Amino acid sequence: GSASDAAPVRHAQWSSRLAFILAATGSAVGLGNIWKFPYITGEYGGGAFVLVYLACIAVIGIPIMMAEVALGRRGGQSPINTMRRILREDGRSRHWALIGWLGVAAAFLILTFYSVIGGWAVAYVVRAGGGAFSGASSDGIAALFSGLLASPGELLFWHGVFMALTVAVVARGVSGGLERATSILMPALFVILLVLVGYALASGHFSQGLRFLFSPDFSKIGVGGVLAALGHAFFTLSLGMGVMIAYGSYLPRGVSITRTAVSVSVMDTTVALLAGLAIFPLVYANGLEPSAGPGLVFKTLPLAFGQMPLGGLFGAAFFVLLVFAAWTSSISLLEPLVEWLEEHRGVRRGIAAAAAGIVAWVIGIASALSFNLWADVRPLGMFAAFADKGIFDLLDYLTANLMLPLVGLATAVFAGWVLSPRILEGELSEGRGHVFRLWRFLIRWVSPVAVAAVFWHNLG
């Protein structure tokens, strides 16, 4: 039959293109933009890293996001079943469903440490609200942060609070409530970031920050930096984990996947760049190090809050919004596993969410302790490549820099080379088919070759 005869009975759909954009943006915009992007940019030396990252978003991220959303809309089910259905229909090997499995595993592993960092953000709501930043020197702000990291009990408590928030939403089914909240909170986050960029503009060190972010010096990025930029493109757009397949399954026909994928990616990238523009001028204004690592946001922005009028209020608002951004992302990390437990194992949603959340919390303890008691543990220390990586760094590296690009590569090869073109053509063709042809060229040649080249380079 034709494509539409074969379309499955659909479950609920997003009420509109906007609702899908909100949910997908909610998943994409998170700690990756405001916490991770600035600190890895700092570690890999700035401009050249940013340029490679932007290129990865444009020629690898967007085409793969389009592929995932198109697969999802075509299959109309959870990622694993969507893959199975399409494979059956197109007469392809069932082994490609492995893409779905690896994605679920990667999402779960990421959740274990994502929640630890989400916990830092929750802790900072309380600190900001309590006036802890007001008038503090950069040493005082740095001491606040190292105090938090040095306390295993506090870290585990906030990690637990954040995980509980995540479980509460997923247990109810991704609710109208959170979806609606996203539509207010995302714009609010945007506004507060603009205020911070304005503050940075006034700090007198804006041009230095600008230069750090945008003037590329390729001698600084190194081989590892290119892989990190690629991995971060996947991480920040929530790709390689089946999340966009799942969200695509709710997308009504007639909505342009191309336009949607481009808008989500542009919003995600804008938030990351704004965060960079807010943070790096402060780094220079206060004599800090761009390469301060995972604590960078927590050591810089509070300085601004400590100095501006109504800073306590602004600071608390900012960290509340950061928690929300992280929250709408973490539910999309937990959802795939819970959906699978529900569909395939007949576990009730509430129980599945709680059980998965508890296991993720327990595994996350290792990441939390790697900032204090287990700071010297090097699980893969016997391999030169991992000799300097503690538990948190290692998990982050293995998921973002290896698993996601590998699943992404498999997705590109699958969508570009294995699947009959007609399967996705109906989802992606627009105008006179120019978009589909451009997408097909990117997904067959550019994305897989680029990912493979980066891997190859890193092995050599």
Q: Which residues bind Na ion (CB under 5 A)?
A: 28, 32-33, 236, 268
Q: How far is the CB of 403 from ligand PFF (least distance, A)?
A: 11
The residue among 31 and 273 lying less far from ligand PFF, judged by its C-beta, is 31
> How far lies 137's CA from each of 64, 141, 144, 288, 413, in Å?
45, 6, 11, 12, 52
Question: 14, 25, 26, 32: which one contacts ligand PFF (CB under 6 A)?
Answer: 32
Please tell me the distance from the alpha carbon of residue 293 to that of residue 40, in angstroms, as a whole number. Answer: 7
Q: Which residues of 340-372 are buried (b: 16+ CB within 10 A; e: fewer)?
A: bbbeeeebeebebbbebbeebbebbbbbbbbbe
Q: How far is the CB of 41 from Na ion (least distance, A)?
A: 14
Q: Which does 41 bind (CB under 5 to 8 A by kind): ligand PFF, Na ion, none?
A: none
Rounded to 10 degrees, the C-alpha dihedral 401/229/156/168 comes to: -90
Q: How far is the CB of 63 from ligand PFF (least distance, A)?
A: 17
Q: Strand, helix or coil at 172?
A: helix
**Number of neighbouring beta carbons within 10 Å of residue 391:** 21
The residue among 66 and 308 lying less far from ligand PFF, judged by its C-beta, is 66
Tell me: does residue 33 bind ligand PFF (CB under 6 A).
yes
Please tell me the distance from the alpha carbon of residue 24 to that of residue 251, in angstroms, as a whole number. Answer: 11
Q: How far is the CB of 29 from Na ion (least distance, A)?
A: 5
Q: Quote the DSSP letter at residue 221.
A: T
User: Which tokens is 394 given?
Assistant: 């290692």
Q: Quote the DSSP letter at residue 382.
A: T
Q: How far is the CB of 236 from ligand PFF (least distance, A)?
A: 4
Closest by CA position to 230, among listed 448, 460, 459: 448
Q: Which does 401 bind (CB under 5 to 8 A by kind): Na ion, ligand PFF, none?
A: none
Please tell me the distance from the alpha carbon of residue 38 to that of residue 274, in angstroms, as a whole number. Answer: 10
Question: Read out DSSP for 388-401?
Answer: T--HHHHHHIIIII
Question: 27, 249, 286, 411: which one contacts ligand PFF (CB under 6 A)?
Answer: 27
Question: 116, 121, 221, 243: which one contacts ligand PFF (CB under 6 A)?
Answer: 243
Amino acid at 241: M
Span from 28-36, 136-144, 285-293, 365-373 in contact with ligand PFF (CB under 6 A): 28-36
Question: 238, 249, 265, 447: which one contacts ligand PFF (CB under 6 A)?
Answer: 238
The residue among 110 and 122 lying less far from ligand PFF, judged by its C-beta, is 110
The residue among 70 and 132 lying less far from ligand PFF, judged by its C-beta, is 70
Site map 97..116 versus ligand PFF, x via CB under 6 A:
----------x--x------
Q: Which residues within the stretch 109-148 sit at the binding site for ligand PFF (CB under 6 A)?
A: 110
- Residue 41: alpha-carbon gap to chain centroid: 15
Site map 315..344 versus ligand PFF, x via CB under 6 A:
--------------x--xx-----------
The residue among 119 and 312 lying less far from ligand PFF, judged by its C-beta, is 119
User: Which tokens is 319 given?
Assistant: 């960290």
Question: 96, 162, 235, 439: which one contacts ligand PFF (CB under 6 A)?
Answer: 235
Q: Which residue is nearest to ligand PFF (CB)?
A: 32
Q: How far is the CB of 211 from ligand PFF (least distance, A)?
A: 25
Count of helices and strands (H, E) across the chain: 23, 0
Q: How far is the CB of 32 from Na ion (least distance, A)?
A: 4
Q: How far is the CB of 114 from ligand PFF (least distance, A)?
A: 7
Please tell me the distance from the alpha carbon of residue 244 to that of residue 103, in angstroms, as a whole number. Answer: 11
Q: How far is the CB of 268 from Na ion (least distance, A)?
A: 5
20: Cβ contacts below 8 Å, ≥ 6 apart: 14, 247, 250, 251, 255, 260
Please tell me the distance from the alpha carbon of residue 269 to that of residue 259, in angstroms, as a whole number. Answer: 15
Question: 82, 236, 286, 370: which one contacts ligand PFF (CB under 6 A)?
Answer: 236
Amino acid at 99: I
Tell the burial category of 459 from Cβ atoms under 10 Å away from its Cβ (0-12, 13-18, 19+).
exposed
Q: Which does 31 bind (CB under 5 to 8 A by kind): Na ion, ligand PFF, none?
A: ligand PFF
Tell me: does residue 31 bind ligand PFF (CB under 6 A).
yes
Q: Which does 332 bind (CB under 5 to 8 A by kind): ligand PFF, Na ion, none?
A: ligand PFF
Give the footprint of ligand PFF on this chain (CB under 6 A): 27-28, 30-33, 107, 110, 235-236, 238, 241, 243, 329, 332-333
